[in-house]
Structure 1
Amino acid sequence: MYTSPPNPSASAPAKPWTVPALREAKRDGRRLAMLTCYDAGFARVFDAAGIDLILVGDSLGMVVQGHASTLPVTVADTAYHTACVARGLSRALLVADLPFQSDATPERALDAATALLQAGAGMVKLEGAGHKLDVIRFLVEREIPVCGHLGLTPQSVLRLGGYKVQGRDEAAAARLRDDARAVQDAGASLLVLECVPTPVAAAITADLDIPTIGIGAGPQCDGQVLVLHDMLGLDSGHRRPRFVKDFLAGGGSVAGAAAAFAQAVRDGRFPDAEHSYA
């Protein structure tokens, strides 16, 4: 599985990614390729294949631990996998999810984020706006880079009643746009948009100075992310969302699939209409 990867894209910077470089990428029109990862072996392959951002997502609860949702994941779980992944990276920026309720208060979020940064993360990701804006400000004021996450927020699956596209009607779309601006103004350096109609995500991306990373949010985001199991066409035991594409089928190897994903994102070929929501 871990064969020698192809040379990274010539457009990929050789030096390690930093938080300030994210805004530079948006300014320069360079799309960002992001994959989830949970161990050092895959991290090493993805890093060499030119993936810009690696996410230790709470998706590990579903694709690694076999749970029905992300809710059972703990800070200790995420810290363990973050430390594993960090050992395999030399250039990609490592982002780690704050698990369910670990960011319920600014103080709890600080403790959790500190553990994840000490494990090797360069940024933490948290879901939502509202009271989470105070959490974002609190963390950023204490030198902890933050990635926001709006649209379908998996930690809200019980309230949402399932995994559904968000922002379809005019009022919901307006709330998403307002929340996105508020997350940026609170100090976030990056924003994931999940399961959002393409026009809404495009409007948010145009409105913000920070990069947006789409997953089921159309091709006009500043970058794209997929869960590694989905990118490789592996059966995770869960329904395959519309935005998923199997890059292993054409890539020939894990390294080839990662490189093909990164190039398709940078070329604007992924996602297309088939993998987006109108």
Structure 2
Amino acid sequence: MPVARIFDWAARDSQRLATVASLRQAKGRPGAFAQVTCDSAEEAAAAETAGIELAVCRARNVAEVRKGSSRIFVTAALGFAEAVTDDEILRTAFKALTDGADAVITGRRLSIVSLLASEDIPVMGHLGFVPRKSTWVGSVRSVGKSVEEAVELWHRFRRLEEAGAFAVEAELVPAPLMAELSRRTGLVTVSLGSGPAAEVVFLFASDICGETETVPRHARRYGDLARLNREIAAERARAFRAFRSDVAGAAYPSAAEVVPLPDGIIEEFGRRLGH
């Protein structure tokens, strides 16, 4: 895989599979990059091995993710509760960046986007269906199926770009509308359940790997970790039952599983204690 040499936000000489510049240069090339969620070193290592260029993780998990991959472009999600004030948001963003993140994503107000962008921090916004704000649209549903919603979504795209974001995660936007929005905006578009027309196509690792029993409509299961986890749980319970049975039956520990003493030690121990 081609890599770019950069210096990260901690001034470390680094290599990346994608940069803000290469993402922008891919504008108009649907599916140029793939993105997944990663919150562990193991997930990040697997993603890099698979050729996936981008990952999203919680800001507090950036250092752990970097243990698994030094090359993936990592976007740190700034949680709503972890950072509330402007100072906290900036501090959290810079901590994530110096831990190894390349960008941040936030669903906060446009002034926050501008605050971050004014520090040259690459900011990704989140539009369309935003799960934490779903009360405003009334249910878990796509956004942009009416002309009114489509026009309002376009204005949100435009305002986000004007605020200084370089990219936008568009979630559950109808595919034909996503194609039109992506064509009209200068933002790098990231599609989560919004069709194939974006420059970046994004799925959650839990959906890709089949970690849950149900899969959202927009997702596709490529693995079956749920089955493996059930097998692991059953094997764990079987092992625990066997251990308990052996303890009850005095079958564990055996002579081979205890530390012996040389002959005479216990007798001398008793004599020294006087009994």
Shared fold (TM-score, shorter chain, > 0.5) = yes
Matched residue, 1:13: 2
1:100 aligns with 2:80: yes
Matched residue, 2:209: 232
Q: 1:153 to 1:174 in 2, by over 3 A?
A: same
Any idea what the Cα deviations from partners look like across 1:70-127, whole Å, max 9, x if unmatched? xxxxxxxx41x22110121122100011112556553332122122223221111012
1:150 aligns with 2:108: no
C-alpha contact 2:174 2:194 (8 A) present in aligned 1: yes
What's the RMSD between the two structures over aligned residues? 2.2
Q: 1:168 to 1:99 in 2, by over 3 A?
A: same
Larger radius of gyration: 2
The alignment's TM-score, normalised by the length of structure 1, stands at 0.70
Matched residues, number: 213
- 1-side partners of 2:201 and 2:30: how far apart? 14
- 2-side partners of 1:94 and 1:43: how far apart? 10
39-48 or 153-162, which deviates more: 153-162
C-alpha contact 2:31 2:201 (8 A) present in aligned 1: no
C-alpha contact 1:106 1:139 (8 A) present in aligned 2: no
- 1-side partners of 2:27 and 2:69: how far apart? 23
Matched residue, 1:26: 27
Runs of 4+ with >3 A deviation: 27-30, 101-108, 157-162
- 2-side partners of 1:159 and 1:111: how far apart? 29
C-alpha contact 2:105 2:124 (8 A) present in aligned 1: yes
Q: How does 1:65-104 map to 2 (within 5 A)?
A: 78-79=59-60, 81-102=61-82, 104=84
- What amino acid maps onto 1:55 in structure 2? V
Any idea what the Cα deviations from partners look like across 1:252-278, whole Å, max 9, x if unmatched? xxxxxxxxxxxxxxxxxxxxxxxxxxx
Ranges in structure 2 where 5+ consecutive residues have no aligned partner? 5-15, 225-275
Percent same amino acid at aligned positions?
A: 30
- 2-side partners of 1:246 and 1:195: how far apart? 18
1:241 aligns with 2:219: no
Report the Cα offset of residue 14 of structure 1: 3.1
Matched residue, 2:36: 35
Ranges in structure 1 where 5+ consecutive residues have no aligned partner? 1-11, 58-77, 250-278
- What amino acid maps onto 1:14 in structure 2? V
Matched residue, 2:157: 180
- 2-side partners of 1:95 and 1:153: how far apart? 17
